[in-house]
Amino acid sequence: MKVLKFGGTSVGSVDSIKTVIEILENNIAKGEQIAVVFSAMGGVTNRLIEIGKMAAAGNAEYMEFLKVVEERHFVVVRGMINVKNQSSTFAAVRGLFNELGDILKGVSWIRELSERTLDLIMSFGERLSTLVISEILKSRGVAAEFCDARNLIHTNATYGMGDVDFEITNKQILEYFAKRSALQCVTGFIASTGDGITTTLGRGGSDYTASIIGAALDASVIEIWTDVDGMMTADPRKVANAFTIPSISYAEAMELSHFGAKVIYPPSLQPAFAKNITLKVLNTFNTDFIGTFVQKAADKKDYAITGISSIDEIALVNIQGSGMIGVAGISGRLFTALSENNISVILISQASSEHSICFSIDPKNAIKAREVLEKEFSHEISLGYIDGISIEKNLSIIAIVGEGMKKSTGVSGKLFSVLGKNGINVVATAQGSSELNISVVISKSDLSKAL
Ligand code: ADP
Ligand code: ASP
Ligand code: MG
């Protein structure tokens, strides 16, 4: 069994869907047993979020925006299914849009958009793209079946990024697939709680869906089909001379993706890694290209560094004070308080003087982080043991990643000197003892130059 996943751009237009169908039919012709996961059509998830927010704000214009999204799906049906088979697909698509329209009407009445409702609204993106493509396949004589991943993947009720319950999920996937012979077209990104409430796996989560299913079924390979030539040394949209990394380890891929390489969603690496299944990152728009193999051990490379990632926008939180020196448990309390409030930490740096700890977070969590920490350390702040919590914004992170760094000296020297020579100030830095990653925090205005 091989699991394929096609991202938003790959299913974003009639032309690209034609290529997707070709890739699938080639696999079938070769006698491969496959399952396929689809993202929403490119841009649709963002649009649905916008539409939900408009409805919640009482802006009736959301209906026009919804019509545009509907039309994008109709264009695909018209372009890919012959006239005599179109009507049932049109009816099914219309049915989903009616359902979504009702939900949005509810949102606009109560003027409230909870995370839970937003997950439900977003789920329509993958349900629609997958429905349409499964119907296209059927109209071409392929024995295909729409599979709603909400029936297979179960998460807790953390809306926006559900935590997968692998015990039940794996069992459900195995039971489901054991009874099916048709090609399963699976909705990426979406899941549900045990009591049937729709959840999502986090933005970019369709990669995760593919990995969860591939791992549960002991797939021979998981193919992530996207819009670039595999995992590259840097984001090709930001660095013109970035080039493909032919072979990369799970650990390196995890570091690169955690630090901004959105070509693969970081949690997706874990299920594949646990089962030692090769992940291939391939380009739908350059199908002959070999792409990237993500495996336990990567082939030897010519360079100490495998790739460079960046996160455009972070906030740096600094907590300092003389009362922190030598006091056990401060960082334990700090990170527990953040985690209890769902604030995830991107990078941590503490000097051995223990006078200060600084860490970076998503700027949208900055206000909450300050509140949480001022509450947690109110006693220490009132006694003057901790000076207070400062937050700096308009910063970015650059990370250089590579297993080759373990064996070579002078990599960090080179990094800092090249930044220094170019007048780029380093605000904070972190290197894990695994020596897989050196990260530096710099001003956002220096990011493209630094890259
Ligand atoms: P999909 O919809 O196929 O999942 P995404 O937009 O989520 O595609 O991810 C692909 C994008 O990731 C690319 O278009 C590219 O701009 C971006 N990207 C960022 N860093 C990297 C990298 N190191 N290698 C390749 N792509 C990268
Ligand atoms: N459609 C979802 C998103 O835009 C999931 C994905 O594309 O992987 O985040
Ligand atoms: Mg993606």
At 248, give phi and psi (nearest 5°).
Answer: -145, 150
Question: Which residues are bridge partners to 35 per DSSP?
Answer: 3, 184
Contacts of 35 (CB under 8 A, 6+ apart): 1, 2, 3, 4, 177, 183, 184, 186, 213, 217, 219
Tell me the pLDDT of the chain averaged across its residues: 95
pLDDT of residue 63: 97
Q: For the residues 218-224, what does the mean pLDDT come to? A: 98
- Of all protein residues, the one whose alpha carbon is nearest to atom 5 of ligand 2 is 204
The tens digit of pLDDT for each residue in 285-325 reads 999 999 999 999 888 888 889 999 999 999 999 999 888 87
Which of 208, 263, 279, 281 should be mutated for ligand 1, with most atoms under 8 A from CB?
263
Q: Is a pLDDT exceeding 90 seen at residue 85?
A: no
Mutational pocket test of ligand 2: of 119, 189, 224, the residue with most ligand atoms within 8 Å of the beta carbon: 189
What pLDDT shows up at residue 329?
85
pLDDT confidence of residue 450: 95
Decide: 444 and 395 in contact? Cβ < 8 Å: yes
Q: Using the predicted structure, report yes or no on whether residue 101 has a pLDDT greater than 90.
A: yes
What's the CA-to-centroid distance between 17 and ligand 3, angstroms? 16
Instruction: Report d(CA 398, CA 440) in Å as an integer.
Output: 5
Query: Relative to the CA of 42, which ligand 1 atom is closest?
Result: 2
Most confident range, picked from 5-19, 301-315, 381-395? 5-19
pLDDT of residue 270: 97
Look at residue 304 in the predicted model and tell me its pLDDT.
87
Query: How far, in Å, from the CA of 312 to the mean position of ligand 3?
Result: 17
pTM above 0.85, yes or no: yes
Indicate if the pLDDT at residue 189 is higher than 90.
yes
pLDDT of residue 141: 96
Can you tell me the mean pLDDT for 3-29?
98
Burial class of residue 87, CB neighbours in 10 A (0-12, 13-18, 19+): exposed
210: confidence class by pLDDT, cuts 50, 70, 90: very high
Lowest mean pLDDT among 124-138, 141-155, 392-406: 392-406
Each residue's pLDDT tens digit, 313-366: 999 999 998 888 777 788 899 999 999 998 999 999 887 767 889 999 999 999
Contact criterion met (CB below 8 Å) for 188 and 6 = no
pLDDT at 18 over 80: yes
Ligand with an atom nearest the CA of residue 225: 1
Residue 96 has, within 13 A of its CA and on its CB side, a CA count of 24
Q: Which two tokens stand for residue 256?
A: 């690169």
Percent of the chain's residues with pLDDT above 90: 90
Q: Which residues line ligand 1 (CB under 6 A)?
A: 7-10, 39, 204, 226-228, 231-232, 234-237, 256, 261-263, 307
Q: pLDDT digits over 234-245, tens only?
A: 999 999 999 999
How far apart CA 211 and CA 143 sit, in angstroms, is: 23
Nearest atom (ligand 2) to Cα of 46: 4
pLDDT of residue 390: 94
Own/partner pairs, 339-342, CB within 8 angstroms, 24+ separation: 341/368, 341/369, 341/372, 342/158
3-state secondary structure of 53: helix
Atom of ligand 2 nearest to the CA of 205: 8
Q: What pLDDT score was predicted for residue 394?
A: 96
Phi, psi of 278 (to 5 degrees): -70, 135
Residues framing ligand 2 (Cβ under 6 A):
7-8, 39-40, 45, 125, 188-189, 203-207
- The preferred substitution site among 10, 36, 37, 39 for testing ligand 2, maximizing ligand atoms within 8 Å of CB, is 39
